[in-house]
Structure 1
Amino acid sequence: MDAAEKSSQETVRVSQAASISEAQSLSNSEKASNDNAVATTASQNNATDTTQVYTGTSQQIIGNAKSHIYHVPGQAGYYMDSANAIYFGSEAEAQANGYRAQR
């Protein structure tokens, strides 16, 4: 084998190694990007899950879907999960829907 042929084969090997390295780097970059997207989504979901409603400063009648108790403006308030908050236009509406007043 002459020197030119050896040099040509070495160039092919180096080129193949560079291609493999670049493909691995892209694969790792895509994986990191995907991991970041999953973490962001999980973080957003957790933020949504912990949203609270404070009944003490609300100017609306708010019922708790789990306890079926409603709170009117001006009463001492408490925090409840916003997913459980039901808003009513009047106490009569709340009572008609099976809710009772906070004691």
Structure 2
Amino acid sequence: MKRPLTKSSNNVVLTGSLAGIAEWIGVDPTIVRVIYVILAIFSAGFPGFLLYIALAVLLPSGRRNNQGGYGHQNPYNRNTRNPNPYANGQKPRKNAEKVDDDDWSDF
């Protein structure tokens, strides 16, 4: 069974869409990119820009959850030197002070 059509996770120029198509077909991504640019430039009926935007939006990402990811799954998002002192109730949060200053002359 062939691999599903997804964006490339390791051969990305703008969004990885064309490289994902090349990996799905089994050819070099440069060949797919060159063919796409030639079709987009020399063919009036080929809406290259709109098709690329559609591919970028509709193709699912090829990234796996075990490869890192964004946010809390990112392995580089671990702050081990300075842990959050407010997380376990170690340090109470400061209360905000109400300011009754209606002077907007600074702006």
TM over 0.5: no
State which structure, 1 or 2, has the greater radius of gyration over its C-alpha atoms. 1
More helix by percentage: 1
More strand by percentage: 1
Q: Tell me the TM-score normalized by structure 1.
A: 0.25
Q: Tell me the TM-score normalized by structure 2.
A: 0.24
